[in-house]
Amino acid sequence: MTRKLYLRAIVPIGLFFSLSLICGNQTFLYLGVAFIQMLKATTPVAVLLVGWGMNVETPSVRVLANVTVIVLGVIVASYGEIAFNLTGFLFQAAGIIFEAFRLILVQRLLWSAEFKMDPLVSLYYFAPVCALMNFLIFLVFEASKLGMSEILKLGLLTLLANGALAFVLNISVVFLIGRTSSLVLTLCGVLKDILLVGTSVFIWGSTVSLTQLFGYSLALGGLVLYRLGADKIREQYQRIRNDGSNAWEEFSTKHPTRRKVSIGGAAALILIMALGVMFGSGKTEIQSVPLEGGESSEVVYVPQNPNMVGQSGPFPVARLDLKYQPPRKLDIIVSIYKEHPTAVGQALEAIKRLPGFGDLNPNTIVYFKDPSADQRIVHDETKANAVRKLSTRGGNNAAWLTHIIDMWNELAEHTLFLDGSFQNLEKMAERIYDYYGPETGVLSLAPSLSRCACHQCKDPFGTEESWYRVPEIFASFNGDFCPAGDVLLSQSGQFIVSAKRIRGTPKHVYESMRDLLTSDDDHWIHSDKKLGYFTDDLDDPFFGRAFEKSWMIAFQCGDPRLAESCPILGERRQPQYPLDRCQCLDRNPADPKGPKPARIARRHVRKV
């Protein structure tokens, strides 16, 4: 291959391949998955138009109509909550255009009489160009942020396996383009999505809405129409209709009684299925749970997937992972910065002696963020089971998220998250003693709870700051739009939460939140308007203030009525108060009033 031919035919493929990967990955920093999927659904149209523009494909109104039907079907199926961001939209649009050019150039390389290259040979030529482009961009933008520790943490085997799969994928792509076309490749992606949805429904019991079912049916219909053509489909339909009609007439003549039974049975089956859809399966139990002031709310327990159950009300169903088997009963997690390790160790010993904790043999983990602190000294003086050093970025919220992410498959049945300052320790001990139990889903240990309008949330704890990201936090963790009214906020981010409730939300949601909390100062998350009550730096981001107050929302316990029913920290639980007065439970409590209240807890907690 000559140098001129290499620069004209190979280098552009590597360039467009690299740009499509970069733009596609950048999009996830700005847009939600649903909207990205909607935009990606337009790739077949982009490929078709680019192919026509470069004279690789022959223009055809019929093909354009078929592809448009498929795209519309995928858009309908992917329709959901969309948080529009112009930067993300432009990144995704550019990525789609670059990908379309790449696929058409690969097709021309494999098809054109000028090149007529073997698929493996073509991959041999343009893969190094793409690798070089990505490496150069990595050196400029990412090399300074990535250390060997992150690579080792991920695992070399994981990286090698990922690379091997990508290599096999690239081989299959060039072979498919060589045998068919780049348009067929993009349409296969639509078929892949349909198969994934079908598999998840029939094997894992995933829920598919009627809108999604309609959209994917539309896409599948367009795919069949593209593959067979209208004439072929019409011919096959007429043939099946005639054969079926003849067979039914013959059956009716020979077996009139069976014909009537068949019709009656089919009608009964349709009626049963219709009633099942209308009224659901299983029994719905409704219980009136008293709140403060005599108010009652209906908590409806709806039959769910065997591995995921939840309770509904004015908010989306709380998803609980019942399949997970925790290795321990309780973890106590503390995040410290400049606090003295000896004082932290004394506080941990006092907490471990709380009634109800001693028999659980709690595991203690300390995350420290003081760059000058020695890990061995922190471990010896705190006497924690484990000590881990973290970056100062993101504050306590980043530490909590790091624990959840890194311990995803090792989470205890319940985890207690505490700030190393241990303010209000005695009062928190009373709250734990009064309310904590096996059914605890999430119990806030903040000084107080309050409420704010979800769509226009202003800080209810003494400032006039607006928490602009509360709607997005709610949507990310609850999978639904903000309610029309208020949501629950906590004054601080200290709480005890179950592994069932943590794992009810996909792991990647926690990872996304940690990425935002630890992002660079030029990230868009730092552009929110501020009134000056709080700083916005890497160690204490403004977004972290909003997230700190949204942990109850994150654990799907955002009902604002808890702000009225739950007293301030330090007020004891009385016998007439139910256990869910200050918390969300993971299941329907057998006794709404709960066990008898604790008499006193102060004597069990030593002041630190």
Where exactly are the structural domains of the chain?
Answer: 3-228, 232-268, 330-573
Between 521 and 274, name the one with better pLDDT.
521
- What pLDDT shows up at residue 161? 87
Residue range 122-132: average pLDDT? 79
Mean pLDDT for all residues in the chain? 76
Question: Has residue 31 got a pLDDT over 70?
Answer: no
The model's pLDDT over 277-323, given as tens digits with 9 standing for 90+, comes to 455 433 333 333 333 333 333 333 322 223 333 333 456 667 888 88
Rounded CA separation 10/113 (Å): 16
**Strands 308-309, 320-321: parallel, antiparallel or unpaired by DSSP?**
antiparallel
Confirm if 499 and 413 have CB atoms less than 8 A apart: yes
Phi, psi of 98 (to 5 degrees): -60, -40
β-strand 386-389 against 449-453: which pairing, if any?
Answer: unpaired
According to the model, what pLDDT value does residue 305 have?
28
At 190 the pLDDT is: 58
What is the per-residue pLDDT for 398?
94
Q: Report pLDDT for 26.
A: 83
What is the number of other CB atoms lying within 10 angstroms of the CB of residue 143? Answer: 11
Return all residues near 383 (Cβ < 8 A) that are at least 6 apart.
345, 348, 349, 364
What per-residue confidence (pLDDT) applies to 501? 93
- The reported pLDDT for the residue numbered 373 is 87
pLDDT at 592 over 50: no
Residues 6+ apart with CB under 8 A from 365: 331, 332, 333, 334, 384, 385, 386, 387, 388, 403
CA distance to 127, 139, 185, 300, 314, per residue, from 12 (Å): 11, 21, 20, 59, 54
User: Quick one: tokens of 515?
Assistant: 């990425």
The predicted structure's pLDDT at residue 481: 83
Higher-scoring residue by pLDDT: 275, 180: 180
Most confident of 138-142, 164-168, 312-316: 164-168
pTM value > 0.75: no
Q: CA-CA distances (angstroms) from residue 289 to 105, 320, 486, 572, 577?
A: 65, 20, 20, 20, 10
pLDDT digit string, tens, across residues 468-496: 899 999 989 988 888 888 899 998 889 99
Question: Among 4-13, 282-291, 378-387, which is the least confidently predicted range?
Answer: 282-291
Nearest Cα residue to 400 out of 332, 335, 351, 497: 335
* 567: nearest Cα among 465, 467, 438, 435: 435
Fill in the amino acid letter for 422: F
Residue 355 has pLDDT above 90, yes or no: no
604, pLDDT greater than 70: no
Position 396 confidence tier, pLDDT thresholds 50, 70, 90: very high
Confidence grade of residue 403 (pLDDT, cut at 50, 70, 90): very high
Per-residue model confidence (pLDDT) at position 145: 65
pLDDT in the model for residue 5? 75
pLDDT category, 90, cuts 50, 70, 90? confident
Element spanning 495, H or E:
strand 495-498
pLDDT band at 111 (very low <50, low <70, confident <90, very high): low
With a cut of 60, say whether residue 197 has pLDDT above it. no
> How confident is residue 227, by pLDDT bands cut at 50, 70 and 90?
low
Tell me yes or no: is domain 330-573 CATH 3.40.1130: no
**pLDDT tens across 69-81, in order?**
777 776 776 554 4
Tell me the average pLDDT across 328-350: 91
Residue 153: per-residue pLDDT: 62
The answer to whether residues 99 and 49 touch, using CB atoms and an 8 Å cutoff, is no
Residue 591's pLDDT band, with cuts at 50, 70 and 90, is: very low
* More reliable by pLDDT, 72 or 450: 450
| Nearest-angstrom CA–CA distance, 10 and 568 | 68
Q: What integer pLDDT is reported at residue 282 of this predicted model?
A: 38
